[in-house]
Amino acid sequence: MQLQFLGTGAGQPSKARNVSSLVLKLLEEINEVWMFDCGEGTQHQILETTIKPRKISRIFITHLHGDHIFGLPGFLSSRSFQANEEQTDIDIYGPSGIKNFVLSSLRVSGSRLPYRIHFHEFDEGSLGKILETDKFTVYADKLDHTIFCVGYRIMQKDLEGTLDADKLRAAGVPFGPLFGQVKNGQDIVLEDGTEIIAADYISPPRPGKTLAILGDTRKTAASVRLAVAADVLVHEATYGKGDEKIARSHGHSTNMQAAEVAREAGAKRLLLNHISARFLSKDISQMRRDAGSIFEPVHIVKDLEEVEI
pLDDT digit string, tens, across residues 60-107: 999 999 999 999 999 999 998 865 667 889 999 999 999 999 999 999
User: What three-state secondary structure class fits 6?
Assistant: strand
Supply the pTM of this predicted model: 0.88
89 is in an annotated binding site: no
CA atoms of 73 and 180, how far apart (whole Å): 47
120 is in an annotated binding site: no
65 is in an annotated binding site: yes
Q: Residue 165's Cα: distance from chain center in Å?
A: 34
Question: What order of strands is seen across the sheet that includes strand 232-236?
Answer: 128-132, 136-142, 150-156, 210-214, 232-236, 270-273, 298-300
What is the identity of the amino acid at 268?
A: K
Whether a cis peptide bond, with omega within 30° of 0, leads into 297 is yes
CA atoms of 79 and 73, how far apart (whole Å): 10
Active site residues: 67
Please give the pLDDT value at position 164. 85
Q: Which distant-in-sequence residues (6+ apart) come within 8 Å of 31 by Cβ?
A: 55
145 is in an annotated binding site: yes
In this prediction, residues 284-295 reach a mean pLDDT of 95
Please give the pLDDT value at position 82. 66
Q: What radius of gyration, in Å, describes the C-alpha atoms of the chain? A: 22
**Beta strand pairing status for 117-122 and 128-132?**
unpaired
pLDDT digits (tens, 9 = 90+) for 104-145: 999 999 999 999 999 999 998 889 999 999 999 999 999 999
As a whole number, the mean pLDDT across the chain is 93
274 is in an annotated binding site: yes
In this prediction, residues 176-193 reach a mean pLDDT of 84
Q: What is the DSSP letter of 284?
A: H
Let me know if 180 is exposed, middle or buried by CB neighbors in 10 A (0-12, 13-18, 19+): exposed
Nearest Cα to Cα of residue 187 among 177, 178, 197: 197
The C-alpha angle with vertex 1 and arms to 148 and 8, in degrees rounded to 5, equals: 45
